[in-house]
Amino acid sequence: MRFQDAAKDARAMVYAGIQADPLVARVAGLLADANAAQRVLARAVMNGESSDPTAWRVMFPTLFGVGAPPIEHPDRVRSEAILAAALEVAGRGDQVRSQFRGAIVEALTAHLLARRVPPGSIHTERRILFDGVAAEIHPYDVTVETNGAAEAYDCKWGARGISADVLHQLDDARQHAADEGERVLPVLVVFDARRSCEVRLARHTAPRAGTRLVSIESLDRIAGRRAEAAS
Amino acid sequence: MLLERIVSALGDLVAAAESVADEWIYVHDLETVWAARLRAIGSERTEHPPDEVAAAIDALVQEAHRITDPHRAIDWLSTLPQATLVAIAEDAW
């Protein structure tokens, strides 16, 4: 088993520009430190239509209302920063915002992983090659490349992104690694509620028993921390 | 009653999302499970909500009604219940 950078085709080069945009890193950094309610705020704003921050503050009274932390409190400062950054993403327009959202989930995953594994072991856009097995067309979004305990991540903005192809690709990595006496833990990261992911998965027959699902409420598990409630 | 407004808004989002034929079943499944979750919470909450919670529900319903793109409506079908539960200080899942 070996890892390899994905080929830099035209799509990859355009997407690399999105991934390198400072706004992606800023949002990912904010979300890495965010609580679950703040992550729901980010999801709502980046999925929404309103560009008026006041409207969003009204929609999220537990973050901005009378019972929310005072305005100088670090949690409140972070809520405001997340709101501003998410509005900036939403303001990029439909086509671009969709690409940004995917890149943000990937960057967030890498950010959280860096709290648990050596940063040098984290890579993006990598293929995993196995002897005698045709390489997958799509690279894995994020990989952790350590001897004996590799991890392969596919990152999705919403539960709708879960497809049979994604599930098969993740399971294939696990199975082919096992065939070579290696271990790859496949992980599906979805910036959406587990309830919605389960709805999506319920009608799929693709193998997923060996794939770990990380949803918006359990993102901190990527960093090795327990999930918290979002309220 | 307050959360019934969100359940109704979910129905409007379903109507907007139904034109994505490949996702018809997923869209209706999402509505079913999230409406059930919201109604379960609503049945436990009989007290009059604080003004800011009522205002939040108003604003969330308005936001849902701004969504006309069917693909965005599918995203919002999952997002609206989570945002609602955060707004009423419930576990968002």
| Cβ distance of A231 and B91 shorter than 8 Å | yes
A163 touching B, CB under 8 A?
Answer: no
Q: Which chain B positions have a beta carbon within 8 Å of A230's beta carbon?
A: 82, 85-86, 91-93
Which residue of chain B has the CA closest to A65? B52
| Cβ distance of B92 and A231 shorter than 8 Å | yes
CA of A192 vs chain B CAs: smallest distance (Å): 8
What would the two tokens of residue A33 be? 């430190």
| Cβ distance of B87 and A196 shorter than 8 Å | no
- Asked if pLDDT for residue A14 goes beyond 90, the answer is no
With cut-offs at 50, 70 and 90, classify the pLDDT of residue B27.
Answer: very high
Query: What would the DSSP string read from start to end of A109-177?
Result: HHHHHTTTS-GGGEEEEEEEE-TTSPPPSSPEEEEE--TT-EEEEEEESSGGG--HHHHHHHHHHHHHH
Q: How confident is the model over A1-23, as a mean pLDDT?
A: 87
What would the two tokens of residue A5 be? 């950078």
- Asked if pLDDT for residue A100 goes beyond 50, the answer is yes
* Phi then psi dihedrals of residue A211, to 5 deg: -105, 130
Q: Which of B26, B30, B52 sits opposite A66 (nearest CB)?
A: B52
Residue A20 makes CB contacts below 8 A (sequence gap 6+) with none
Enclosing H/E stretch for A187: strand A184-190
What would the two tokens of residue A75 be? 């949690």
CB A192 within 8 A of CB B78: yes
- Percent above pLDDT 70 for chain A: 97
Cα distances (angstroms) measured from residue A26 to each of A23, A33, A83: 5, 11, 12
Please choose, from the candidates B44, B93, B81, the residue with its C-alpha nearest in 3D space to the C-alpha of residue A228.
Answer: B93
- Complex ipTM value: 0.96
Which tens digit of pLDDT belongs to each residue from B37-65?
A: 999 999 988 888 899 999 999 999 999 99
With cut-offs at 50, 70 and 90, classify the pLDDT of residue A228.
Answer: low
Q: Which chain A positions have a beta carbon within 8 Å of B78's beta carbon?
A: 158-159, 192-193, 196
- Asked if pLDDT for residue A44 goes beyond 60, the answer is yes
Angle (CA) A230-A119-A89 rounded to 5° is: 50
Which tens digit of pLDDT belongs to each residue from A141-172?
A: 999 999 888 999 999 999 999 999 999 999 99
Q: Tell me the C-alpha distance between A222 and A39, whole Å.
A: 15
Q: How confident is the model over A124-132, as a mean pLDDT?
A: 93
- Asked if pLDDT for residue B67 goes beyond 90, the answer is yes
Q: What per-residue confidence (pLDDT) applies to A54?
A: 98
| Cβ distance of A49 and B33 shorter than 8 Å | no
Q: What per-residue confidence (pLDDT) applies to A175?
A: 95
Q: Which chain B positions have a beta carbon within 8 Å of A59's beta carbon?
A: 56, 59-60, 63, 83, 87
- Asked if pLDDT for residue A93 goes beyond 90, the answer is no
Q: How confident is the model over A58-84, as a mean pLDDT?
A: 97
With cut-offs at 50, 70 and 90, classify the pLDDT of residue A231.
Answer: very low
Which amino acid appears at position A69 of this protein? Answer: P
Which amino acid appears at position A177 of this protein? Answer: A
Give CA torsion, residues A152, A158, A161, A164, to 10 deg. Answer: 70
Q: What per-residue confidence (pLDDT) applies to A49?
A: 94
| Burial group, residue A54, by CB count within 10 angstroms (0-12, 13-18, 19+) | exposed
| Cβ distance of A48 and B78 shorter than 8 Å | no
With cut-offs at 50, 70 and 90, classify the pLDDT of residue A8.
Answer: confident
Q: Tell me the C-alpha distance between A127 and A120, whole Å.
A: 17
Please choose, from the candidates B36, B84, B72, the residue with its C-alpha nearest in 3D space to the C-alpha of residue A101.
Answer: B72
Which tens digit of pLDDT belongs to each residue from A164-210?
A: 999 999 999 999 999 999 999 999 999 999 999 999 999 999 999 99
What would the two tokens of residue B58 be? 């108003």
Q: Which DSSP letter does residue A204 get?
A: -
Q: What per-residue confidence (pLDDT) applies to A164?
A: 96
Which amino acid appears at position A122 of this protein? Answer: I
